[in-house]
């Protein structure tokens, strides 16, 4: 396999995981809870010419997948990766079945600073796309988007757009009529604004028909039999003329909009005019289920459940039995059970991954699907038991990757909400193992000892150490480290064994495999809320260290800083001056030249230009240079690493694939990769084996330019 890779260096191939990782031995609570293959989105059932239904799985970062009933596997829909990575919604023209419309992006993207994981620029909507050949090829973003003053907004979807589109509705009887719901967030005023846009010419022109300043419009549903369109966010709206005019239903018995962070809609189940609502009531800290029998004029409370955060709520009502109601409650699925005239919420039971984003019945009501942060699940017994329904889909959201220095293939990767996983190959092939729970983040192998590995769990600010190649772990978090950045900074020295850095507000250095740590205060004048986003050793000098700071993701003011130490962390010099990009962007990654401790390269995200800057004089202010020729200004950089070839080639993981730097110009090195975000890169020094962690397509393996 490696010979084949060398023959065609850019011919990337997927390493997975596309099946649920195995337990390396005895499992525990944390491993069981974290075990998964990545976040699944909604499932859409589309018609074929013969009347049969095809099942399409949408993912927030890994394109679309079609169920092959004969092979009993999911197959990627070629070209769906071009929709900026993920798909929030998919709709089919009711008369021309080969015409599909896709809303690109993450349906549950979080735009404010309280987002728990992904920065907003990664997950905002990429626009509305159209396929004329049942998903084989796509065009877009389509449409002219009209401002309230009648002018065309030519930059409507331009990244970073700050728009999250979630749901598209096509009028079944008059398919030239369409409505799309989206919302934005004003960072300066901390205010959401929701919109419904309508097109009367099959998506050619779009006009705003509803502006909601009360909250976050996310839901849009159409009761075809009643001829009523509903939009919901923190409040509920109704239109009787497919979006031309809207009425706020603020006297219908629902909680006040200021106490609600989200609503989920189900309409027209059982009979015309029925509206079911899941309301995330912040004042009561509960999820409430309401029902209306009169098109939303009045609502009755059916039941309550544990509260869910607004970025993961779900509601499903059986298509034939309106008394069979399932909803997300906390991390799990609850069911409403009716007894005489009262309802009560009960835990549905079953074993499925935490964080339920979608619940949906198949059109015949034979089974219920749950989309979670760990994959897609199905139940045929009202949630008592769940089966894995997304095996063969490669959709893991990697944050980092590491490859062992020996010749056997061993790869570690930290996965969003799915722990830390280990790939091991042998004569019988390879397999993935779940080795740590929580939110997997940074991973490292020791420079020489292939049995020694490290990992970081960003959500819980945990650092771990393994002495047997990543199978068993011990926590080795530095004492008194405090809370770190979500992506906790972690770096093993690339040459000298046993050395590892861990960055919080202070830098912690271990020279004995993480068994003990020395605390180093970088700058006593720094705000205590500032934490490190990246740390790097100089490969040629174990005393030269670089660290980058940024406020946590929930902070309002970003104050990036870059520091350098040449005495092992005892003293520090602020080298931010001249690093122009920190004024409007955030530092994501650092790389030091293998032979020159003074050559530092910095990667950025956000803004519109200057995504890579380089200094060959140890950070002297006048010597910073922007290195972006060949690299798009909107192409954020998340990972930087050097190859140890004769040319010391620099590689970058970006929002749009892998790139490498030659003669001061960037060239695409993504041949065979899906068009996706690369959040981690690792190169094996001995032979140039290149491993990329994608955010939505799992781990991929290729080779450098040797």
Mean pLDDT across the chain: 90
- pLDDT for the residue 218: 92
Reported confidence tier of residue 679, pLDDT bands at 50, 70, 90? very high
Q: Following CA atoms 651, 653, 654, 659 in sequence, which dihedral angle do they give, to the nearest 10 degrees?
A: 30
What is the tally of helices (H) and strands (E) in the chain?
3, 56
Longest alpha-carbon distance in the chain:
78
- pLDDT for the residue 1: 28
The lowest-confidence range among 339-343, 356-360, 363-367 is 339-343
604 near 550, Cβ under 8 Å?
no
Q: What is the DSSP letter of 488?
A: -
d(CA 15, CA 150): 50
43 near 55, Cβ under 8 Å?
yes
pLDDT of residue 6 exceeding 60, the answer is: no
232 near 277, Cβ under 8 Å?
yes
pLDDT of residue 117 exceeding 70, the answer is: no
Q: Give the model confidence (pLDDT) of 506-562 as tens digits.
A: 999 999 999 999 999 999 998 888 899 999 999 999 999 999 998 554 455 556 899
Q: Give the model confidence (pLDDT) of 562-601 as tens digits.
A: 999 999 999 999 999 888 767 667 899 999 999 999 999 9
Residue 49 or 348, more confident: 49
Percent of the chain with pLDDT over 90: 69
Report the run of H or E that residue 7 belongs to, with start and end: helix 2-7
d(CA 473, CA 535): 23
Could you tell me the sign of the dihedral formed by the alpha carbons of 59, 61, 64, 67, in that order? Answer: negative
**Burial 575-606, CB ≥16 within 10 A → b, else e:** bbebbebbeebbbbbbbbbbeebbbbbbbbbb
Q: Give the model confidence (pLDDT) of 313-349 as tens digits.
A: 999 999 999 999 999 987 789 999 888 778 888 887 7
3-state helix, strand, coil in the chain (%, to 5): 5, 45, 50
The DSSP-derived string for 25-67 is: SS--HHHHHH--S-----EEEEE-TTS-EEEEEE-SSS-EEEE
Nearest to 446 by CA among 398, 406, 400: 406
- pLDDT for the residue 455: 96
pLDDT of residue 2 exceeding 50, the answer is: no
**Over residues 48-60, mean pLDDT:** 95
Reported confidence tier of residue 163, pLDDT bands at 50, 70, 90? confident
- pLDDT for the residue 216: 78
Paired strand residues for 565:
545
pLDDT of residue 299 exceeding 50, the answer is: yes
Q: Give the model confidence (pLDDT) of 125-141 as tens digits.
A: 889 999 999 999 999 99
Global confidence as pTM: 0.93
Paired strand residues for 368:
361, 379
pLDDT of residue 115 exceeding 50, the answer is: no
Q: What is the DSSP letter of 409?
A: -
Paired strand residues for 162:
none
667 near 686, Cβ under 8 Å?
no
Q: In terms of DSSP bridges, do strands 689-694 and 699-703 run parallel, antiparallel, or are they unpaired?
A: antiparallel
Which parts of 195-314 fold into alpha helices (H)? Answer: none
325 near 348, Cβ under 8 Å?
no
Reported confidence tier of residue 35, pLDDT bands at 50, 70, 90? very high
- Which of the listed ranges 39-48, 284-293, 341-350, 581-590 does the model predict with the highest average pLDDT? 39-48
Paired strand residues for 339:
342
Report the run of H or E that residue 14 belongs to, with start and end: strand 13-16
Catalogue all structural domains in the chain, each as residue range(s) with its CATH number: 43-388 (2.130.10.10), 398-703 (2.130.10.10)
d(CA 30, CA 485): 22
Q: First-to-last CA distance in the chain?
A: 16
- In what side-by-side order are the strands of the sheet with 356-361? 356-361, 368-372, 375-379, 387-388
- pLDDT for the residue 605: 86
**Over residues 270-295, mean pLDDT:** 92
- pLDDT for the residue 693: 98
- pLDDT for the residue 239: 98
- Identify whether 549 is preceded by a cis peptide bond (ω within 30 of 0): no
291 near 243, Cβ under 8 Å?
no
259 near 246, Cβ under 8 Å?
no
Nearest to 38 by CA among 698, 654, 693, 656: 698
SS3 letters across 102-130: EEECCCCCCCCCCCCCCCHHHHCCCEEEE
**Over residues 146-169, mean pLDDT:** 87
Nearest to 484 by CA among 446, 535, 418, 523: 535
The DSSP-derived string for 635-704 is: --EEEEEE--STT--EEEEETTEEEEEETTEEEE--TTS-S--EEEEEE-TTT-EEEEEEBSS-EEEEE-
- pLDDT for the residue 427: 52
Q: Give the model confidence (pLDDT) of 613-659 as tens digits.
A: 999 999 888 899 999 999 987 788 999 999 998 889 999 999 999 99
- pLDDT for the residue 90: 98
């Amino acid at each position: 396999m490696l010979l084949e890779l060398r023959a065609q260096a850019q011919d990337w191939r997927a390493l997975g995981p596309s099946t649920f990782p195995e337990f390396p031995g005895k499992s525990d609570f944390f491993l069981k809870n974290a075990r998964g293959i990545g976040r699944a989105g909604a499932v859409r059932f589309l018609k074929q010419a013969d009347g049969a239904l095809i099942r399409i799985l949408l993912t927030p970062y890994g394109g679309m997948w079609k169920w092959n009933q004969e092979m009993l596997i999911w197959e990627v829909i070629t070209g769906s990766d071009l929709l900026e990575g993920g798909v929030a919604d998919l709709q089919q023209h009711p008369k021309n079945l080969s015409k599909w419309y896709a809303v690109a992006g993450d349906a549950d993207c979080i735009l404010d600073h309280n987002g728990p994981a992904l920065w907003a620029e990664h997950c905002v909507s990429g626009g509305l796309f159209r396929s004329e050949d049942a998903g084989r090829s796509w065009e877009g973003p389509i449409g002219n988007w009209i401002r309230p003053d009648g002018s065309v907004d030519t930059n409507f979807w331009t990244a970073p757009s700050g728009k999250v589109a979630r749901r598209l509705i096509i009028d079944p009887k008059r398919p030239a009529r369409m409505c799309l719901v989206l919302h934005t967030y004003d960072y300066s005023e901390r205010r959401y604004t929701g919109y419904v846009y309508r097109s009367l010419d099959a998506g050619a022109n779009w006009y705003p028909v509803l502006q909601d300043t009360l909250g976050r419009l996310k839901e849009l549903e159409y009761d075809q039999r009643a001829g009523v369109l509903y939009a919901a966010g923190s409040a509920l709206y109704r239109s009787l003329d497919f979006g031309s005019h809207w009425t706020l239903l603020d006297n219908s018995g629902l909680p006040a909009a200021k106490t609600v962070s989200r609503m989920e809609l189900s309409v027209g189940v059982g009979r015309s005019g029925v509206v079911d609502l899941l309301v995330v009531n912040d004042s009561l800290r509960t999820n409430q289920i309401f029902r209306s029998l009169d098109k939303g004029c009045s609502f009755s409370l059916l039941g309550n459940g544990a509260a869910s955060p607004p970025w993961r709520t779900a509601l499903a009502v059986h298509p034939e039995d309106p008394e069979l109601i399932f909803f997300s409650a906390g991390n799990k699925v609850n069911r409403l059970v009716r007894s005489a005239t009262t309802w009560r919420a009960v835990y549905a039971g079953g074993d499925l991954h935490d964080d339920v984003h979608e619940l949906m019945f198949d059109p015949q009501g034979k089974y219920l699907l749950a989309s979670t942060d760990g994959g897609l699940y199905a139940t045929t017994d009202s949630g008592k038991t769940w089966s894995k329904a997304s095996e063969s889909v490669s959709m893991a959201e990697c944050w980092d990757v590491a490859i062992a220095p020996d010749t056997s293939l061993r790869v570690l990767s930290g996965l969003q909400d799915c722990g830390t996983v280990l790939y091991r190959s042998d004569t019988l092939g390879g397999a993935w193992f779940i080795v740590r729970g929580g939110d997997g983040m940074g991973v490292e192998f020791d420079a020489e000892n292939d049995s020694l590995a490290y990992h970081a769990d960003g959500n819980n600010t945990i650092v771990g150490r393994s002495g047997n190649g990543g199978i068993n772990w011990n926590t080795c978090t530095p004492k008194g480290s405090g809370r770190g950045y979500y992506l906790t900074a972690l770096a093993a020295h690339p040459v000298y064994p046993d050395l590892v850095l861990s960055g919080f507000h202070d830098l912690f250095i271990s020279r004995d495999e993480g068994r003990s740590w020395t605390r180093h205060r970088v700058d006593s004048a720094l705000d205590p809320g500032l934490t490190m986003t990246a740390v790097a050793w100089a490969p040629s000098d174990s005393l030269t260290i670089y660290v980058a700071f940024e406020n946590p993701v929930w902070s309002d003011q970003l104050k990036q800083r870059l520091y350098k130490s040449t005495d092992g962390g005892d003293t520090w010099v602020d080298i931010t001056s001249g690093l122009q990009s920190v004024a409007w962007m955030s530092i994501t990654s650092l790389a030091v030249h293998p032979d020159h401790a003074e050559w530092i390269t910095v990667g950025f995200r956000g803004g519109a230009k200057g995504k890579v800057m380089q200094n060959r004089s140890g950070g002297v202010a006048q010597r910073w240079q922007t290195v972006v020729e060949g690299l798009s200004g909107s192409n954020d950089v998340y990972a930087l690493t050097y190859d140890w070839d004769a040319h010391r080639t620099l590689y970058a993981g970006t929002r749009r694939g892998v790139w490498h730097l030659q003669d001061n110009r960037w060239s695409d090195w993504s041949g065979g990769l899906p068009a996706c975000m690369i959040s981690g890169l690792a190169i094996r020094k001995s032979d140039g084996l290149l491993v990329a962690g994608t955010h939505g397509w799992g781990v991929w393996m290729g080779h450098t330019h040797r």
